[in-house]
Chain A
Amino acid sequence: MSTIDIAVVDYGMGNLRSVSKALEHVATTKNVVVTSKPEDVAKASRVVFPGQGAMPDCIRELDARGLRGAVLEAAQNKPFLGICIGLQMLFEQSEEGNAAGLGLFKGGVKRFAHADMVDSQGEKLKVPHMGWNQVYQCQHAEAKAHALWQGIEDGARFYYVHSYYVQPADESIIEGYSDYPKRFTCAIAKDNLFAVQFHPEKSANAGLQLLSNFVNWSPS
Protein backbone atom coordinates (compact mmCIF):
# COMPACT_ATOMS: atom_id res chain seq x y z
CA MET A 1 0.00 0.00 0.00
CA SER A 2 1.22 3.46 -0.87
CA THR A 3 1.79 5.99 1.84
CA ILE A 4 -0.40 9.04 2.22
CA ASP A 5 1.41 12.24 3.15
CA ILE A 6 -1.68 14.43 3.26
CA ALA A 7 -5.28 13.22 3.38
CA VAL A 8 -7.98 15.70 2.45
CA VAL A 9 -11.16 14.45 4.11
CA ASP A 10 -13.99 14.14 1.58
CA TYR A 11 -17.45 13.69 3.07
CA GLY A 12 -19.31 14.66 -0.09
CA MET A 13 -19.81 18.34 0.66
CA GLY A 14 -18.47 21.01 -1.63
CA ASN A 15 -15.51 21.35 -3.85
CA LEU A 16 -12.28 19.81 -2.62
CA ARG A 17 -10.40 20.27 -5.84
CA SER A 18 -9.24 23.76 -4.86
CA VAL A 19 -7.86 22.46 -1.58
CA SER A 20 -6.01 19.51 -3.11
CA LYS A 21 -4.65 21.60 -6.03
CA ALA A 22 -3.29 24.22 -3.66
CA LEU A 23 -1.68 21.54 -1.46
CA GLU A 24 -0.11 19.88 -4.51
CA HIS A 25 1.20 23.29 -5.56
CA VAL A 26 3.03 23.86 -2.25
CA ALA A 27 4.01 20.23 -1.66
CA THR A 28 5.08 19.00 -5.08
CA THR A 29 6.84 15.90 -3.74
CA LYS A 30 4.06 14.83 -1.37
CA ASN A 31 1.28 12.39 -2.02
CA VAL A 32 -1.97 14.32 -1.54
CA VAL A 33 -5.08 12.14 -1.47
CA VAL A 34 -8.70 13.22 -1.39
CA THR A 35 -10.47 10.44 0.47
CA SER A 36 -13.68 9.43 2.20
CA LYS A 37 -12.16 6.30 3.77
CA PRO A 38 -11.58 6.33 7.53
CA GLU A 39 -8.57 4.02 7.10
CA ASP A 40 -6.87 6.54 4.75
CA VAL A 41 -7.41 9.32 7.31
CA ALA A 42 -5.98 7.01 9.96
CA LYS A 43 -2.80 6.19 8.05
CA ALA A 44 -2.11 9.67 6.59
CA SER A 45 0.76 11.67 8.07
CA ARG A 46 -1.24 14.90 7.93
CA VAL A 47 -4.94 15.60 7.63
CA VAL A 48 -6.79 18.52 6.08
CA PHE A 49 -10.43 18.83 7.07
CA PRO A 50 -12.21 21.28 4.75
CA GLY A 51 -15.88 22.08 4.47
CA GLN A 52 -18.49 23.98 2.55
CA GLY A 53 -22.23 24.22 2.81
CA ALA A 54 -24.44 23.88 5.84
CA MET A 55 -23.06 22.41 9.05
CA PRO A 56 -25.97 20.03 9.79
CA ASP A 57 -25.49 18.43 6.36
CA CYS A 58 -21.73 18.26 6.84
CA ILE A 59 -22.06 16.41 10.15
CA ARG A 60 -24.66 14.05 8.68
CA GLU A 61 -22.51 13.23 5.65
CA LEU A 62 -19.42 12.79 7.82
CA ASP A 63 -21.27 10.24 9.93
CA ALA A 64 -22.79 8.55 6.89
CA ARG A 65 -19.23 7.71 5.78
CA GLY A 66 -18.15 6.62 9.24
CA LEU A 67 -15.49 9.35 9.35
CA ARG A 68 -16.23 10.90 12.75
CA GLY A 69 -13.89 8.68 14.74
CA ALA A 70 -11.00 8.93 12.29
CA VAL A 71 -11.30 12.72 12.12
CA LEU A 72 -11.42 13.11 15.92
CA GLU A 73 -8.49 10.76 16.29
CA ALA A 74 -6.43 12.69 13.71
CA ALA A 75 -7.38 16.04 15.23
CA GLN A 76 -5.77 14.99 18.49
CA ASN A 77 -2.73 13.12 17.21
CA LYS A 78 -1.22 14.44 13.97
CA PRO A 79 -0.80 17.70 12.08
CA PHE A 80 -4.38 18.68 11.33
CA LEU A 81 -5.73 21.67 9.44
CA GLY A 82 -9.43 22.57 9.59
CA ILE A 83 -10.83 24.97 7.00
CA CYS A 84 -14.14 26.89 7.14
CA ILE A 85 -16.89 24.41 8.19
CA GLY A 86 -13.97 22.14 9.08
CA LEU A 87 -13.22 24.66 11.85
CA GLN A 88 -16.86 25.10 12.87
CA MET A 89 -17.53 21.36 13.17
CA LEU A 90 -14.87 21.04 15.87
CA PHE A 91 -17.11 22.94 18.32
CA GLU A 92 -20.06 21.80 20.39
CA GLN A 93 -23.05 23.45 18.82
CA SER A 94 -23.98 25.62 15.83
CA GLU A 95 -26.84 28.08 15.43
CA GLU A 96 -27.04 26.80 11.87
CA GLY A 97 -29.87 24.29 11.98
CA ASN A 98 -29.20 23.99 15.73
CA ALA A 99 -26.71 21.26 14.88
CA ALA A 100 -24.43 19.49 17.33
CA GLY A 101 -20.78 19.54 16.29
CA LEU A 102 -17.96 17.12 17.05
CA GLY A 103 -17.44 18.79 20.43
CA LEU A 104 -13.65 18.73 20.44
CA PHE A 105 -13.66 22.34 21.68
CA LYS A 106 -16.07 24.01 24.06
CA GLY A 107 -18.07 26.84 22.55
CA GLY A 108 -20.56 27.51 19.79
CA VAL A 109 -20.93 28.69 16.24
CA LYS A 110 -22.89 31.93 15.80
CA ARG A 111 -24.43 33.75 12.83
CA PHE A 112 -23.46 37.34 12.07
CA ALA A 113 -26.25 39.22 13.85
CA HIS A 114 -28.37 41.29 11.49
CA ALA A 115 -28.50 44.23 13.93
CA ASP A 116 -24.69 44.53 14.01
CA MET A 117 -24.14 44.62 10.26
CA VAL A 118 -23.36 48.31 9.74
CA ASP A 119 -19.89 49.76 9.16
CA SER A 120 -18.39 52.89 10.75
CA GLN A 121 -19.85 55.05 7.95
CA GLY A 122 -23.32 53.64 8.53
CA GLU A 123 -23.23 51.50 5.36
CA LYS A 124 -24.93 48.12 5.41
CA LEU A 125 -22.58 45.11 5.61
CA LYS A 126 -23.55 42.04 3.65
CA VAL A 127 -23.94 38.46 4.83
CA PRO A 128 -22.31 36.15 3.76
CA HIS A 129 -19.05 37.82 4.74
CA MET A 130 -17.51 37.34 1.30
CA GLY A 131 -14.14 38.58 0.14
CA TRP A 132 -10.72 39.55 1.45
CA ASN A 133 -10.41 40.65 5.06
CA GLN A 134 -7.44 41.34 7.28
CA VAL A 135 -6.32 38.59 9.62
CA TYR A 136 -4.62 39.64 12.84
CA GLN A 137 -2.37 37.12 14.51
CA CYS A 138 -2.52 36.55 18.24
CA GLN A 139 0.70 36.60 20.18
CA HIS A 140 0.36 34.76 23.41
CA ALA A 141 2.42 35.96 26.35
CA GLU A 142 4.81 33.03 26.30
CA ALA A 143 5.85 32.97 22.66
CA LYS A 144 5.93 34.50 19.21
CA ALA A 145 3.15 34.02 16.70
CA HIS A 146 2.15 30.46 15.80
CA ALA A 147 4.37 28.50 13.38
CA LEU A 148 1.60 28.51 10.76
CA TRP A 149 1.76 32.33 10.56
CA GLN A 150 5.44 32.20 9.66
CA GLY A 151 6.26 34.44 6.68
CA ILE A 152 2.78 35.96 6.72
CA GLU A 153 2.41 39.63 7.56
CA ASP A 154 0.21 40.44 10.57
CA GLY A 155 -2.94 41.92 9.03
CA ALA A 156 -2.52 40.09 5.69
CA ARG A 157 -5.75 39.60 3.80
CA PHE A 158 -7.32 36.17 3.33
CA TYR A 159 -10.40 35.16 1.34
CA TYR A 160 -13.57 34.46 3.32
CA VAL A 161 -17.01 33.25 2.48
CA HIS A 162 -19.22 32.41 5.47
CA SER A 163 -22.20 33.54 7.52
CA TYR A 164 -21.23 31.83 10.79
CA TYR A 165 -18.18 32.10 13.04
CA VAL A 166 -16.86 30.23 16.09
CA GLN A 167 -16.89 31.48 19.66
CA PRO A 168 -14.42 29.38 21.68
CA ALA A 169 -15.09 29.17 25.40
CA ASP A 170 -11.34 28.87 26.00
CA GLU A 171 -9.78 32.06 24.62
CA SER A 172 -6.27 30.65 24.92
CA ILE A 173 -6.83 28.60 21.75
CA ILE A 174 -7.49 31.74 19.65
CA GLU A 175 -4.67 32.39 17.17
CA GLY A 176 -6.26 34.96 14.87
CA TYR A 177 -9.16 37.31 14.45
CA SER A 178 -10.82 39.59 11.89
CA ASP A 179 -13.34 42.42 12.19
CA TYR A 180 -16.76 42.36 10.47
CA PRO A 181 -17.62 44.80 11.95
CA LYS A 182 -17.12 43.22 15.38
CA ARG A 183 -14.09 41.13 16.16
CA PHE A 184 -14.53 37.39 15.52
CA THR A 185 -12.21 34.40 15.85
CA CYS A 186 -10.81 33.23 12.51
CA ALA A 187 -8.06 30.86 13.66
CA ILE A 188 -7.57 28.49 16.56
CA ALA A 189 -4.77 26.13 17.52
CA LYS A 190 -4.13 23.45 20.06
CA ASP A 191 -1.09 21.18 20.03
CA ASN A 192 -1.08 19.45 16.62
CA LEU A 193 -4.24 21.20 15.39
CA PHE A 194 -4.72 24.47 13.52
CA ALA A 195 -8.04 25.56 12.06
CA VAL A 196 -9.13 28.62 10.15
CA GLN A 197 -12.38 30.20 9.02
CA PHE A 198 -10.98 31.70 5.80
CA HIS A 199 -9.92 29.75 2.71
CA PRO A 200 -6.12 29.53 2.45
CA GLU A 201 -6.52 27.59 -0.82
CA LYS A 202 -8.12 30.68 -2.38
CA SER A 203 -6.03 33.35 -0.65
CA ALA A 204 -3.24 33.79 -3.21
CA ASN A 205 0.27 34.09 -1.75
CA ALA A 206 -0.73 34.48 1.91
CA GLY A 207 -2.85 31.33 1.68
CA LEU A 208 -0.19 29.31 -0.13
CA GLN A 209 2.32 30.36 2.54
CA LEU A 210 0.00 29.10 5.29
CA LEU A 211 -0.51 25.78 3.48
CA SER A 212 3.22 25.47 2.95
CA ASN A 213 3.77 26.14 6.67
CA PHE A 214 1.26 23.40 7.47
CA VAL A 215 2.89 20.89 5.13
CA ASN A 216 6.25 21.50 6.83
CA TRP A 217 4.92 21.85 10.38
CA SER A 218 6.29 19.65 13.16
CA PRO A 219 4.14 20.41 16.20
CA SER A 220 6.16 20.11 19.38
Chain B
Amino acid sequence: MGLAKRIIPCLDVTNGRVVKGVNFLELRDAGDPVEIARRYDEQGADELTFLDITASSDNRGLILHIIEEVASQVFIPLTVGGGVREVEDVRRLLNAGADKVSINTTAVLNPKVVQDAAAKFGSQCIVVAIDAKKVDNQPFEWEVFTHGGRKATGLDAVKWAEYMVSLGAGELLVTSMDRDGTKIGFNNPLNKAISNAVEVPIIASGGVGNLQHLVDGVKEGGADAVLAASIFHYGEYTVKQAKDYMAQHGIEIRR
Protein backbone atom coordinates (compact mmCIF):
# COMPACT_ATOMS: atom_id res chain seq x y z
CA MET B 1 0.00 0.00 0.00
CA GLY B 2 1.14 3.53 -0.53
CA LEU B 3 -0.07 7.03 -1.20
CA ALA B 4 -3.86 7.44 -1.27
CA LYS B 5 -5.71 9.30 -4.00
CA ARG B 6 -7.27 12.38 -2.49
CA ILE B 7 -10.87 13.61 -2.53
CA ILE B 8 -11.09 17.38 -2.28
CA PRO B 9 -14.43 19.09 -1.82
CA CYS B 10 -14.29 22.58 -3.31
CA LEU B 11 -16.06 25.51 -1.70
CA ASP B 12 -16.67 28.47 -4.00
CA VAL B 13 -17.00 31.40 -1.65
CA THR B 14 -18.51 34.80 -2.31
CA ASN B 15 -19.61 37.38 0.26
CA GLY B 16 -18.90 34.89 3.02
CA ARG B 17 -21.18 32.17 1.64
CA VAL B 18 -20.51 29.00 -0.31
CA VAL B 19 -22.11 29.09 -3.76
CA LYS B 20 -22.12 26.89 -6.83
CA GLY B 21 -22.66 27.90 -10.45
CA VAL B 22 -23.04 26.18 -13.80
CA ASN B 23 -20.33 26.90 -16.38
CA PHE B 24 -19.05 29.67 -14.10
CA LEU B 25 -22.51 31.38 -14.09
CA GLU B 26 -25.87 31.20 -12.28
CA LEU B 27 -24.74 31.12 -8.66
CA ARG B 28 -26.80 29.27 -6.07
CA ASP B 29 -26.31 29.52 -2.29
CA ALA B 30 -24.96 26.32 -0.68
CA GLY B 31 -24.32 27.39 2.92
CA ASP B 32 -21.93 28.60 5.60
CA PRO B 33 -18.27 27.86 4.77
CA VAL B 34 -17.12 26.99 8.29
CA GLU B 35 -20.05 24.65 8.86
CA ILE B 36 -19.53 22.96 5.49
CA ALA B 37 -15.77 22.63 6.05
CA ARG B 38 -16.34 20.95 9.39
CA ARG B 39 -18.88 18.56 7.89
CA TYR B 40 -16.53 17.49 5.09
CA ASP B 41 -13.69 16.99 7.57
CA GLU B 42 -15.93 14.68 9.62
CA GLN B 43 -16.86 12.77 6.47
CA GLY B 44 -13.19 12.14 5.77
CA ALA B 45 -12.29 14.76 3.16
CA ASP B 46 -8.54 14.63 2.48
CA GLU B 47 -8.19 18.34 1.83
CA LEU B 48 -10.40 21.37 1.26
CA THR B 49 -10.17 24.00 -1.44
CA PHE B 50 -11.71 27.45 -1.05
CA LEU B 51 -12.07 29.59 -4.13
CA ASP B 52 -12.84 33.24 -3.50
CA ILE B 53 -14.82 33.65 -6.70
CA THR B 54 -15.56 37.33 -6.54
CA ALA B 55 -12.28 38.23 -4.87
CA SER B 56 -12.74 41.97 -5.07
CA SER B 57 -10.78 44.03 -2.60
CA ASP B 58 -13.89 44.62 -0.42
CA ASN B 59 -14.43 40.96 0.41
CA ARG B 60 -10.75 40.01 0.65
CA GLY B 61 -10.88 40.43 4.41
CA LEU B 62 -13.88 38.15 4.55
CA ILE B 63 -12.09 35.12 3.08
CA LEU B 64 -9.11 35.69 5.41
CA HIS B 65 -11.51 35.65 8.33
CA ILE B 66 -13.19 32.46 7.08
CA ILE B 67 -9.83 30.73 6.60
CA GLU B 68 -8.73 31.74 10.08
CA GLU B 69 -11.88 30.28 11.55
CA VAL B 70 -11.69 27.05 9.54
CA ALA B 71 -7.97 26.60 10.24
CA SER B 72 -8.52 26.66 14.00
CA GLN B 73 -11.14 23.90 13.81
CA VAL B 74 -10.25 21.70 10.85
CA PHE B 75 -6.84 19.99 10.79
CA ILE B 76 -6.48 18.90 7.20
CA PRO B 77 -4.76 20.80 4.37
CA LEU B 78 -6.55 23.93 3.16
CA THR B 79 -6.00 25.47 -0.26
CA VAL B 80 -7.22 28.96 -1.01
CA GLY B 81 -7.44 30.62 -4.41
CA GLY B 82 -9.08 33.52 -6.17
CA GLY B 83 -7.76 37.02 -6.66
CA VAL B 84 -4.13 36.31 -5.76
CA ARG B 85 -2.25 39.12 -7.50
CA GLU B 86 1.09 39.41 -5.73
CA VAL B 87 3.47 37.58 -3.44
CA GLU B 88 2.08 39.58 -0.52
CA ASP B 89 -1.39 38.05 -1.13
CA VAL B 90 0.18 34.60 -0.81
CA ARG B 91 1.76 35.58 2.49
CA ARG B 92 -1.54 36.93 3.84
CA LEU B 93 -3.42 33.74 2.96
CA LEU B 94 -0.72 31.50 4.46
CA ASN B 95 -0.73 33.58 7.63
CA ALA B 96 -4.51 33.25 7.87
CA GLY B 97 -4.10 29.48 7.93
CA ALA B 98 -4.03 28.36 4.30
CA ASP B 99 -1.55 25.56 3.61
CA LYS B 100 -1.49 26.12 -0.14
CA VAL B 101 -2.41 29.05 -2.32
CA SER B 102 -3.82 28.63 -5.77
CA ILE B 103 -2.81 31.12 -8.46
CA ASN B 104 -4.71 31.38 -11.74
CA THR B 105 -5.11 34.61 -13.75
CA THR B 106 -2.05 36.21 -12.17
CA ALA B 107 0.12 33.28 -13.26
CA VAL B 108 -0.68 34.22 -16.87
CA LEU B 109 -0.41 37.98 -16.43
CA ASN B 110 2.74 37.83 -14.33
CA PRO B 111 4.41 34.39 -14.14
CA LYS B 112 7.10 35.87 -11.93
CA VAL B 113 4.61 35.86 -9.03
CA VAL B 114 4.56 32.04 -9.23
CA GLN B 115 8.34 31.92 -9.34
CA ASP B 116 8.84 34.40 -6.50
CA ALA B 117 6.16 32.87 -4.29
CA ALA B 118 7.59 29.36 -4.78
CA ALA B 119 11.09 30.62 -4.00
CA LYS B 120 9.88 32.44 -0.92
CA PHE B 121 7.39 29.99 0.60
CA GLY B 122 8.34 26.71 -1.08
CA SER B 123 6.80 24.86 -4.02
CA GLN B 124 4.73 22.75 -1.61
CA CYS B 125 2.33 25.64 -1.05
CA ILE B 126 2.04 26.95 -4.60
CA VAL B 127 -0.76 25.48 -6.69
CA VAL B 128 -1.28 26.80 -10.21
CA ALA B 129 -4.89 26.60 -11.36
CA ILE B 130 -5.35 26.08 -15.08
CA ASP B 131 -8.76 26.68 -16.65
CA ALA B 132 -8.67 24.97 -20.04
CA LYS B 133 -11.10 24.66 -22.91
CA LYS B 134 -11.03 22.57 -26.07
CA VAL B 135 -10.45 24.77 -29.11
CA ASP B 136 -10.48 24.30 -32.90
CA ASN B 137 -8.68 27.47 -33.93
CA GLN B 138 -5.25 26.63 -32.48
CA PRO B 139 -2.44 24.19 -33.34
CA PHE B 140 -3.08 22.50 -29.96
CA GLU B 141 -6.12 20.88 -28.35
CA TRP B 142 -6.72 22.78 -25.10
CA GLU B 143 -6.29 26.49 -24.52
CA VAL B 144 -5.75 28.28 -21.20
CA PHE B 145 -8.43 30.82 -20.22
CA THR B 146 -8.30 33.42 -17.46
CA HIS B 147 -10.62 35.79 -15.59
CA GLY B 148 -12.97 33.03 -14.50
CA GLY B 149 -12.99 31.58 -17.99
CA ARG B 150 -13.80 34.76 -19.89
CA LYS B 151 -10.47 35.51 -21.59
CA ALA B 152 -8.60 33.33 -24.06
CA THR B 153 -4.81 33.47 -23.71
CA GLY B 154 -3.51 31.70 -26.82
CA LEU B 155 -1.58 29.35 -24.53
CA ASP B 156 -1.42 25.57 -24.96
CA ALA B 157 -2.62 24.13 -21.63
CA VAL B 158 -0.11 21.25 -21.64
CA LYS B 159 2.88 23.46 -22.44
CA TRP B 160 1.65 25.99 -19.91
CA ALA B 161 1.51 23.29 -17.23
CA GLU B 162 5.13 22.34 -17.94
CA TYR B 163 6.20 25.97 -17.77
CA MET B 164 4.43 26.58 -14.45
CA VAL B 165 6.12 23.53 -12.91
CA SER B 166 9.48 24.77 -14.18
CA LEU B 167 8.83 28.05 -12.30
CA GLY B 168 8.10 26.19 -9.07
CA ALA B 169 4.43 25.19 -9.00
CA GLY B 170 4.16 22.20 -6.64
CA GLU B 171 0.76 21.05 -7.82
CA LEU B 172 -1.67 21.81 -10.65
CA LEU B 173 -5.43 22.23 -10.36
CA VAL B 174 -6.77 21.50 -13.84
CA THR B 175 -10.34 22.62 -14.53
CA SER B 176 -12.08 21.76 -17.76
CA MET B 177 -14.32 24.70 -18.57
CA ASP B 178 -16.25 22.57 -21.03
CA ARG B 179 -17.18 20.24 -18.21
CA ASP B 180 -17.50 22.55 -15.20
CA GLY B 181 -20.98 22.29 -13.71
CA THR B 182 -22.21 19.92 -16.44
CA LYS B 183 -22.12 16.68 -14.41
CA ILE B 184 -20.90 14.65 -17.40
CA GLY B 185 -17.50 13.77 -15.93
CA PHE B 186 -13.94 15.11 -15.91
CA ASN B 187 -12.09 15.83 -19.12
CA ASN B 188 -9.83 12.80 -18.76
CA PRO B 189 -7.80 13.20 -21.98
CA LEU B 190 -6.87 16.76 -20.88
CA ASN B 191 -5.92 15.62 -17.39
CA LYS B 192 -3.95 12.64 -18.70
CA ALA B 193 -2.01 14.82 -21.14
CA ILE B 194 -1.02 17.21 -18.36
CA SER B 195 -0.35 14.46 -15.81
CA ASN B 196 2.00 12.73 -18.24
CA ALA B 197 3.81 15.97 -19.01
CA VAL B 198 4.71 16.98 -15.45
CA GLU B 199 6.29 15.43 -12.36
CA VAL B 200 4.04 17.16 -9.79
CA PRO B 201 0.58 15.96 -8.66
CA ILE B 202 -2.48 17.11 -10.54
CA ILE B 203 -5.99 17.71 -9.21
CA ALA B 204 -8.78 17.01 -11.68
CA SER B 205 -11.67 19.48 -11.57
CA GLY B 206 -14.86 20.26 -13.45
CA GLY B 207 -17.77 18.05 -14.40
CA VAL B 208 -18.32 15.48 -11.67
CA GLY B 209 -21.92 14.23 -11.64
CA ASN B 210 -21.58 10.79 -10.07
CA LEU B 211 -19.11 8.63 -8.21
CA GLN B 212 -17.98 6.71 -11.30
CA HIS B 213 -16.64 10.02 -12.62
CA LEU B 214 -14.25 10.17 -9.65
CA VAL B 215 -12.99 6.67 -10.43
CA ASP B 216 -12.56 7.55 -14.11
CA GLY B 217 -10.69 10.71 -13.15
CA VAL B 218 -8.05 8.62 -11.40
CA LYS B 219 -7.95 5.62 -13.72
CA GLU B 220 -8.37 7.33 -17.09
CA GLY B 221 -7.25 10.84 -16.31
CA GLY B 222 -4.23 9.97 -14.18
CA ALA B 223 -5.32 12.42 -11.48
CA ASP B 224 -3.63 12.30 -8.07
CA ALA B 225 -6.61 14.03 -6.51
CA VAL B 226 -10.18 14.67 -7.56
CA LEU B 227 -12.04 17.85 -6.77
CA ALA B 228 -15.80 18.18 -6.67
CA ALA B 229 -18.32 20.68 -5.40
CA SER B 230 -21.98 20.28 -6.21
CA ILE B 231 -22.27 16.50 -5.67
CA PHE B 232 -21.24 17.12 -2.07
CA HIS B 233 -22.87 20.49 -1.35
CA TYR B 234 -26.39 19.43 -2.19
CA GLY B 235 -26.13 16.19 -0.28
CA GLU B 236 -26.25 13.92 -3.34
CA TYR B 237 -23.29 12.00 -1.97
CA THR B 238 -21.18 12.19 1.16
CA VAL B 239 -17.39 12.16 0.96
CA LYS B 240 -17.53 8.80 2.70
CA GLN B 241 -19.78 7.33 0.01
CA ALA B 242 -17.36 8.62 -2.60
CA LYS B 243 -14.45 6.98 -0.80
CA ASP B 244 -16.27 3.67 -0.40
CA TYR B 245 -17.09 3.65 -4.09
CA MET B 246 -13.51 4.43 -5.11
CA ALA B 247 -12.16 1.73 -2.79
CA GLN B 248 -14.59 -0.83 -4.28
CA HIS B 249 -13.11 0.04 -7.66
CA GLY B 250 -9.59 -0.70 -6.56
CA ILE B 251 -8.42 2.83 -5.80
CA GLU B 252 -6.32 3.35 -2.71
CA ILE B 253 -8.00 5.87 -0.42
CA ARG B 254 -7.66 7.04 3.18
CA ARG B 255 -10.28 5.64 5.55
A interface residues (Cβ-Cβ under 8 A, vs B): 13-15, 17-18, 21-22, 24-25, 52-54, 114, 119, 123-134, 155, 157, 159-162, 178-181, 201-204, 207-208
**Known contacts A14-B121, A52-B124, A130-B171, A22 near B75 by CB under 8 Å:** yes
- What's the A-B contact tally at a CB cutoff of 8 Å? 112
Q: In the complex, which residues 33-48 of chain B have their Cβ closer than 8 Å to any Cβ of chain A?
A: 41, 46
Question: How far apart are the CA atoms of A126 and B172 in the complex, in Å?
Answer: 12
Question: How far apart are the CA atoms of A14 and B97 in the complex, in Å?
Answer: 11
B76, A130: Cβ atoms closer than 8 Å: no
B75, A128: Cβ atoms closer than 8 Å: no
Q: Which residues of A contact B98 (CB under 8 A)?
A: 15
Contacting B2 at CB < 8 Å: which of A17, A181, A204?
Answer: A181
**Known contacts A17-B71, A25-B75, A52-B122, A129 near B170 by CB under 8 Å:** no
Q: Which residues of A contact B123 (CB under 8 A)?
A: 128
Q: Can you list 17 A-B pairs, Cβ within 8 angstroms, ordered by A? A: A15-B95, A22-B75, A52-B122, A52-B124, A53-B122, A126-B200, A128-B170, A131-B5, A131-B201, A132-B3, A132-B46, A132-B254, A133-B4, A180-B2, A201-B75, A204-B75, A207-B75
Most chain A CB atoms below 10 A, which of B4, B71, B254? B254
CB distance from A186 to the nearest CB of B (A): 12
Q: Which residues of A contact B171 (CB under 8 A)?
A: 128, 130
**Known contacts A17-B96, A132-B254, A157 near B4 by CB under 8 Å:** yes
Closest 10 CB pairs of A and B: A53-B122, A132-B254, A15-B94, A161-B124, A126-B201, A157-B254, A132-B4, A133-B3, A21-B72, A52-B122
CB distance from B91 to the nearest CB of A (A): 9
**Known contacts A14-B122, A53-B121, A128-B201, A180 near B75 by CB under 8 Å:** no
B6, A132: Cβ atoms closer than 8 Å: yes
**Known contacts A52-B121, A126-B224, A202-B99, A159 near B76 by CB under 8 Å:** yes
B2, A18: Cβ atoms closer than 8 Å: no
Q: Which residue on A lies nearest to B170, using beta carbons?
A: A128
B75, A208: Cβ atoms closer than 8 Å: yes
Question: How far apart are the CA atoms of A133 and B6 in the complex, in Å?
Answer: 11
Q: Which residues of B contact A179 (CB under 8 A)?
A: 1-2
Most chain A CB atoms below 10 A, which of B2, B75, B254? B75
Q: Which residue on A lies nearest to B91, using beta carbons?
A: A15
B97, A131: Cβ atoms closer than 8 Å: no
Contacting B41 at CB < 8 Å: which of A24, A157, A204?
Answer: A204
Say whether B111 faces chain A, with CB atoms less than 8 Å apart. no
